[in-house]
């Protein structure tokens, strides 16, 4: 006989469960268990991770949820009545049950959320098929009724749940936690009811952490979640009794009712959910009658190539056919059509957009209107984007102006259905420094004490967060503190158990899924905790996409610089009557390169910052290829190559290729390894790799896996000798050039896309400086420090920035068109501060000011504005509007008479900025 855990909580029971899923699986295997259940509180966040890990480790996964049952109905939300709820353990018997779990959990969040996500019995009855119910923990309805002494009512509760799930699918759940009040009375009552009504007992543990010694860490976690102190007696941790017990422990705890342990095996045998993961599920793109997705993609790209006169080049048609063949065999054409349609909508709506990543290496993507970069012109490989031998879905990352991103998501909802589109959920975890501070506070220590320890933990690198364990290996002072200070040791020890624990649910910055059917057919959904009405998936970007459920995962990232570009182009047309098509600007503009060479980079995309600016001044770029190279070189991997690149460009050092074949792909970078692609081409050309094998090489370099790197090192050196006749020491030298890229590097297509946008921002700043800087100021209006930096840049550029004026300022910064002065000479265009930038002045008040000004005319004196403000209904004019001498309206009204020199104006900045 073995004990199977049917009631467990992972750290996806937010700030309550401490167990990591991998740890649970490992411990179950160590205990010789053949199956394990997961029943997190009210959600299914960890289900796919759990299922995959179980399958990988040869355990049967039992998928469940500990549900919250509403006191009345899920729609009742009356304080003092409906904050009362019951727990119920629900397990999926089969795939129908799994689908019903998704529907129940989704409804609990979308309809029944009141403090917790709740279902009601009407909903349970509707979706009971394929489910097994256990009566629950001491917070279950049956337990609560027993505790009240109403045994007759307890029998009614049992019969009601039997009626919902079926008599054969309802079990009385029994636990062994003797430190609970009236535990023995409750336990005996459950056994009595089981025998009297012939309902099987099932033993569970309600595991919240792995080991008994983790009880204090769990108690600390509860203290953190409730913002209390571990000395608070109200915090219950179970005195070490809520750990992941073994079969031997279970048999001892339930020795008087061994059938309850046996029933865990019987239930496990009944639960057989089989999920099909790793598939690709594309939205249903509307097709023309009689056409397939492949046909439509072929026609679209052919027509574009024909219209652009590209078919005259044989290489274009040859590559187009090749890419279409790869895309067709993988059945990815619907994906390309969906993305092309989204970007078509954006461009037709005037929403500035671009594409990130390796997608720019696809000619089909270029001809379909997905990218603006011709991969043949920039020597971008298609296989870096879509390797014929790699069974992974295409990944096209789209960027949109951040102030209009939601418009594209709304378009997707209208086209495919609001119930088929959602943003992807993500999980914030407790990182090393934060965990230390949280544990110190929960332990009653001062903030300063916790902060002093936390600051000794070094910051991690991108994609490689620092852990406490690693920090103690590399920071001697932290190790000394751990060894010599008992209080610090206790905090670090507990924090070490807490780091990596899920702390909260939020929304992924870019991820959106689109499904062919309503999302609840595939994934549980809920609302964004911070924004009511915004749907998000409970599965994260790793489990909702190709490695998990298989839904089409799209990246809709909001980029501020695209909004700046869009606004600047609008201002130029508005003030100068010039209509700019940003994708048609010349890429050889001398003013643009001259400005970059002077180091005027503030407000530019990817090209600003002290070090980057210094490098650009040395580089003196003359082509778009220089911009692309700098975007790629200024990364942790290849950064040390920047001085050599600059020296070779200006002829201060000779251009040397480590092998004659390298000139084929390194000519435009002066023989310097700049992009990830350069490594791939080196392996392909010199070491005889294929596109299949070079993909493994790419992953090894990118993920910094020591064992895999050592393997690839050997393959590369041997391949160079056999394929190209290169001596071993020369091959070792070339391999040495690769090692910096283990840090981080851009692929060439990504650099080409971002380099293009970087150039576009530089072009607008160089040729239309006032409009561009006005747009930058508006975009940064909420950041005081950034505004001050941009004001300084405007001063260096000779652009006057006027203080806010109650009679002329608009919501955002505005361009004041130049006229002539008293001598008939042209004045310089100016920028006027916007009202929304002013401290204590909200959008409602700004709207009221503008409305009043448009209907009643200008404010004539200092006395008029306070009178107007007092007449406005709150919150349009709060008491902050009518403060003391340093009130913002005084600054605005004085703005009419302020000396307009930049120096005096800058002294007034702190008065009205937030």
Domains 31-202+251-270 and 293-426+507-561 share a fold: no
Longest dimension (CA), the chain: 106
- List CB contacts of 590: < 8 A, sequence separation 6 or more: none
Residue 906: pLDDT band (50, 70, 90) is very low
What does the pLDDT look like over 352-372, one tens digit per residue?
999 988 999 999 999 999 999
Residue 808: pLDDT band (50, 70, 90) is confident
pTM for the model: 0.88
- Encoded tokens for 266: 């019987």
Q: Do residues 15 and 225 lie in contact, with contact meaning Cβ atoms separated by under 8 Å?
A: yes
Q: Do residues 616 and 639 lie in contact, with contact meaning Cβ atoms separated by under 8 Å?
A: no
Q: What fold does the segment set 31-202+251-270 form as a domain?
A: TIM Barrel (3.20.20)
> Is 564 a residue whose pLDDT tops 60?
yes
Question: In angstroms, rounded to a whole number, what is the distance separating the alpha carbons of residues 675 and 629?
Answer: 8
502-514 and 525-528 strand pairing:
unpaired
Task: Give the pLDDT confidence score for residue 849 in this predicted structure.
Answer: 80
What does the pLDDT look like over 762-799, one tens digit per residue?
999 999 999 999 999 999 887 888 889 999 999 999 99
Q: Selecting from 1.25.40.10, 3.30.1900.20, 3.40.50.10140, 1.20.1250.20, what CATH number does the domain 293-426+507-561 have? A: 3.30.1900.20
Q: Do residues 625 and 668 lie in contact, with contact meaning Cβ atoms separated by under 8 Å?
A: yes
What does the pLDDT look like over 30-51, one tens digit per residue?
999 999 999 999 999 999 999 9
> Is 131 a residue whose pLDDT tops 90?
yes
Q: Do residues 204 and 134 lie in contact, with contact meaning Cβ atoms separated by under 8 Å?
A: yes
Instruction: Give the three-state DSSP class for 563.
Output: helix
| Residue 841 backbone phi and psi in degrees, to 5 | -110, 105
Question: In angstroms, rounded to a whole number, what is the distance separating the alpha carbons of residues 906 and 790?
Answer: 12
60-70 and 85-92 strand pairing:
antiparallel
Residue 460: pLDDT band (50, 70, 90) is confident
- List CB contacts of 368: < 8 A, sequence separation 6 or more: 297, 300, 301, 304, 336, 337, 339, 340
Question: In angstroms, rounded to a whole number, what is the distance separating the alpha carbons of residues 177 and 189?
Answer: 15
- Encoded tokens for 567: 């606004």
Q: Which of 136-140, 217-221, 461-465, 677-681 has the least mean pLDDT? A: 461-465
Domain boundaries, the chain: 31-202+251-270, 293-426+507-561, 802-912
Q: How many CA atoms lie within 13 A of 59 on its CB side?
A: 28
**Pairwise pLDDT comparison (225 vs 523), residue with the higher score:** 523
Q: CA quadruple 528, 534, 538, 544: dihedral positive or negative?
A: negative
Task: Give the pLDDT confidence score for residue 889 in this predicted structure.
Answer: 47
Q: Which of 66-75, 410-419, 425-434, 862-871 has the least mean pLDDT? A: 862-871
DSSP H or E segment with residue 40: strand 35-41
What does the pLDDT look like over 138-169, one tens digit per residue?
999 999 999 988 999 999 999 999 999 999 99
Q: Which of 71-75, 250-254, 863-867 has the least mean pLDDT? A: 863-867
Per-residue b/e over 601-637, b at no fewer than 16 CB within 10 Å? bbbbbbbbeeebbebbebbebeebbbbbbbbbbbbeb
């Amino acid at each position: 006989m073995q004990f199977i855990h049917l009631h467990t909580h992972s750290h996806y029971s937010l700030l309550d469960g401490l167990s990591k899923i991998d740890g649970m699986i490992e411990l179950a295997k160590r205990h010789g268990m053949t199956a394990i259940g997961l029943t997190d509180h009210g959600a299914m966040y960890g289900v796919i991770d759990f299922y995959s890990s179980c399958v990988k480790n040869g355990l049967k996964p039992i998928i469940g949820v500990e549900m919250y049952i509403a006191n009345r109905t899920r729609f009742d939300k009356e304080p003092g009545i409906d904050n009362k709820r019951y727990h119920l353990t629900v397990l999926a018997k089969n795939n129908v049950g799994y689908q019903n779990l998704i529907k129940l959990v989704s409804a609990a969040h979308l309809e029944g959320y009141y403090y917790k996500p709740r279902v009601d019995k009407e909903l349970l009855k509707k979706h009971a098929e394929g489910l097994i119910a256990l009566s629950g923990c001491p917070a279950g309805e049956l337990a609560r009724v027993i505790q009240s002494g109403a045994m007759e009512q307890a029998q009614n509760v049992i019969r009601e749940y039997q009626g919902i799930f079926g008599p054969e699918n309802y079990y009385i759940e029994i636990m062994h936690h003797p430190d609970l009040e009236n535990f023995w009375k409750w336990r005996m009552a459950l056994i009595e009811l089981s025998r009297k009504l012939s309902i099987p007992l099932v033993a569970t543990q309600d595991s919240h952490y792995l080991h008994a010694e983790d009880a204090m860490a769990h108690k600390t976690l509860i203290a953190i979640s409730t913002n209390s102190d571990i000395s608070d007696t109200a915090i219950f941790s179970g005195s070490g009794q809520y750990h992941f017990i073994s079969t031997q422990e279970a048999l001892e705890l339930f020795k008087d009712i061994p059938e309850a342990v046996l029933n865990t095996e019987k239930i496990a045998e009944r639960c057989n959910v089989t999920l099909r993961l790793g598939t690709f599920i594309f939205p249903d793109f509307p097709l023309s009658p009689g056409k397939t997705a492949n046909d439509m993609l072929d026609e679209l790209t052919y027509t574009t190539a024909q219209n652009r006169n590209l078919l005259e080049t044989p290489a274009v048609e040859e590559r187009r056919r090749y890419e279409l063949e790869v895309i067709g065999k993988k059945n990815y054409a619907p994906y390309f059509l969906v993305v092309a349609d989204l970007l078509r909508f954006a461009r037709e709506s005037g929403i500035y957009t671009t594409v990130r990543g390796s997608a720019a290496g696809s000619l089909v993507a270029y001809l379909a209107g997905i990218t603006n970069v011709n991969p043949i012109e920039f020597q971008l490989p298609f296989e870096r984007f879509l390797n014929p031998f790699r069974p992974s879905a295409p990944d096209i990352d789209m960027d949109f102006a951040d102030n209009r991103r939601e418009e594209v998501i709304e378009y997707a909802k209208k086209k495919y259905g609001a119930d088929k589109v959602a943003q992807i959920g993500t999980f914030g975890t407790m990182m090393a420094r934060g965990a230390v501070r949280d544990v110190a506070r929960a332990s009653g220590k001062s903030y300063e004490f916790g902060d002093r320890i936390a600051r000794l933990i070094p910051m991690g690198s991108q994609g490689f967060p620092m852990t406490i364990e690693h920090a103690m290996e590399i920071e001697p002072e932290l190790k000394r503190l751990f060894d010599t200070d008992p209080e610090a040791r206790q905090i670090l020890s507990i924090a070490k158990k807490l780091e990596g624990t899920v702390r909260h649910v939020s929304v992924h910055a870019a991820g959106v899924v689109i499904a062919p059917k309503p999302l609840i057919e595939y994934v549980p959904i809920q609302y964004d905790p911070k924004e009511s009405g915004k749907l998000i998936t409970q599965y994260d970007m790793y489990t909702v996409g190709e490695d998990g459920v298989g839904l089409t995962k799209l990246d809709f990232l909001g980029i501020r610089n695209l909004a700046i570009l869009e606004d600047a182009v609008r201002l130029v047309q508005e003030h100068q009557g010039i209509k700019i098509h940003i994708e048609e600007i010349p890429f050889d503009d001398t003013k643009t390169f001259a400005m970059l060479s002077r180091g005027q980079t503030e407000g530019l995309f990817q090209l600003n910052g002290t070090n980057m600016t210094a490098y650009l001044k040395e580089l003196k770029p003359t082509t778009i290829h220089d911009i692309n190279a700098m975007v790629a070189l200024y990364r942790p991997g290849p950064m040390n190559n920047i001085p050599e690149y600059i020296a070779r460009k200006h002829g201060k050092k000779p251009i040397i290729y480590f092998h004659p074949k390298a000139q084929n792909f390194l000519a435009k970078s002066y023989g310097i390894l700049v992009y990830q692609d350069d490594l791939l081409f080196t392996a392909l050309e010199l070491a005889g790799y294929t596109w299949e094998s070079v993909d493994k090489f790419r992953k090894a370099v990118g993920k910094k896996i020591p064992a895999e790197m050592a393997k690839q090192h050997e393959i590369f050196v041997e391949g160079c000798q056999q394929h190209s006749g290169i001596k071993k020491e020369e091959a070792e030298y070339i391999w040495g050039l690769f090692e910096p890229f283990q840090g981080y590097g851009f692929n060439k297509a990504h650099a080409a896309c971002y380099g293009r946008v970087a150039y576009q921002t530089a072009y607008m700043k160089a040729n239309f400086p006032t409009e561009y800087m006005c747009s930058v100021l508006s975009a940064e209006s909420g950041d005081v420090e950034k505004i001050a930096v941009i004001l300084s840049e405007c001063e260096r550029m000779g652009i006057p920035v006027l203080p806010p004026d109650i009679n002329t300022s608009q919501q955002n910064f505005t361009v004041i068109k130049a006229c002539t002065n008293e001598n008939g000479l042209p004045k310089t265009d100016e920028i006027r501060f916007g009202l929304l930038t002013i401290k204590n002045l909200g959008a409602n008040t700004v709207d009221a000011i503008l409305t009043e000004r448009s209907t009643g005319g200008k404010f004539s004196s200092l006395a008029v504005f306070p009178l107007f403000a007092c007449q406005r209904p709150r919150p349009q004019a709060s008491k902050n509007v009518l403060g003391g001498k340093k009130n913002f309206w005084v600054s605005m009204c004085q703005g009419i008479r302020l000396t307009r020199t930049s120096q005096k104006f800058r002294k007034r900045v702190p008065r009205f900025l937030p």
